[in-house]
Amino acid sequence: MRVRFWDAEFEAGDRYFDTDLRASNDILHDVPALRARLEQDGYLLIRDLRDRDAVLSARRQILEKLSSKGMLGPGSDLMDGIVNPAYTAPVTTGTRDNEEFRLLSAVQDLRQMPQVMEFFDRLLGGPARPFDFHWVRVAAPGAESAIHSDIVFMGRGTQQVYTCWAPLGDVSLDMGPIVLCVGTHKAAALQKYWTADVDRDLVQGWLSKDPVEIVDRFGGRWATTDFRAGDAVIFNMHILHGSLANTSTRYRISADARYQLASEPFDERWTGEAPIGHYNFWKPGINLESVAASRAKWGL
Ligand SMILES: O=C(O)CCC(=O)C(=O)O
Ligand SMILES: [Fe+2]
């Protein structure tokens, strides 16, 4: 099947893209093997990390909100998340205006589920803690995420932080799942970019909307998979990633949270009862530098 990712179209198995994101369920109980794979590949895909029903409860709460706003197709099944063609939903994977989703009880419950905390305690070798803030994305058809590393958004504490991206519902390739450029977490040329901080430097954070350019320049290959509710992909702060375009007629709903050792320093923007979050990035009156200007500074 063909997928779209910004200006590129790929066929699974071509030079730039495949659907071979590898599951690590077979080594789930072998912590040294998990750590070695995370270091080598930059990510771990765990099928059914969470109980599917818990994830679907969170999905239901979000869809009830969407339904109450008239965002779902008239007469469609709530859990299918089909868009109402008459509703012009903002076409974004962004989270700027969606506190209401992230604070829903069943959505909050996902972050500290025992299966997840046990996994991170073992992986990190001590008591783990999530950021108190987490990101919920309701991506309408047409939405896609630009290519970036997470470190520039949340790099003020320890660098041993891991993103845990989870589909809140089944997410097929046409719904715009996350896509990782496997290998890029080791790209030496990105070092300067990785020292950026969107709130301090007033930069956009993303690096490119051209996935072909990324592979040609930094190596690696784009990889994703068909996701099911309950699955999770864990990745480091450096690996380049984005999301495929949602070319379906349904909302792509997902949540991403961050985990680290409780004993290590936290990025103060994302912890506490009401995390302050980004205080400059995309705030009114703040002009962010163009990506072209930032790239020139980073030697890219
Ligand atoms: O879900 C997306 O579109 C992007 C997610 C992402 O960038 C992340 O989880 O770090
Ligand atoms: Fe990200």
pLDDT-derived band at 98 (thresholds 50, 70, 90) equals confident
- CA distances (Å), origin 284, targets 38, 281, 287, 288: 38, 9, 8, 11
Residue 118's pLDDT is 98
- The reply to whether 265 falls in a domain is no
- The reply to whether 275 falls in a domain is no
Q: Rounded to the nearest whole angstrom, what is the distance from the C-alpha of residue 178 to the centroid of ligand 1?
A: 6
Residues 6 or more apart whose Cβ sits within 8 Å of residue 32: none
Q: 180 by DSSP, 3-state: which?
A: strand
The answer to whether 260 and 162 are in contact (CB under 8 A) is yes
- The reply to whether 195 falls in a domain is yes
- The reply to whether 224 falls in a domain is yes
pLDDT-derived band at 284 (thresholds 50, 70, 90) equals very high
Q: What is the CATH number of the domain that holds 38?
A: 2.60.120.620
66-80 in b/e form (b: 16+ CB < 10 A) is beeeebbbeeeeeee
The answer to whether 57 and 127 are in contact (CB under 8 A) is no
Q: Which atom of ligand 1 is nearest to the CA of 135?
A: 9
Q: Any idea which ligand is nearest the CA of 198?
A: 2
- The reply to whether 1 falls in a domain is no
Please give the residue range of the domain that contains residue 129.
Answer: 12-259+280-297
Q: Is the pLDDT of residue 97 over 80?
A: no
Return the best residue to mutate from 92, 93, 224, 233 for the ligand 1 pocket (most ligand atoms within 8 A of CB): 93
Distance CA 19, CA 172 (A): 11
Our count of domains for the chain comes to 1
- The reply to whether 90 falls in a domain is yes
- The reply to whether 6 falls in a domain is no
Enter the pTM of the model.
Answer: 0.98
267-299 in b/e form (b: 16+ CB < 10 A) is bebbbeeebeebeebeeeeeebeebeebbeebe
The CB of 236 under 6 Å from ligand 1? The reply is: no
- The reply to whether 228 falls in a domain is yes
Average pLDDT over residues 248-252: 97
| pLDDT tens-digit map of 60-91 | 999 999 999 999 999 999 999 999 999 987 89
Q: Is 89 exposed, middle or buried (0-12, 13-18, 19+ CB in 10 A)?
A: middle
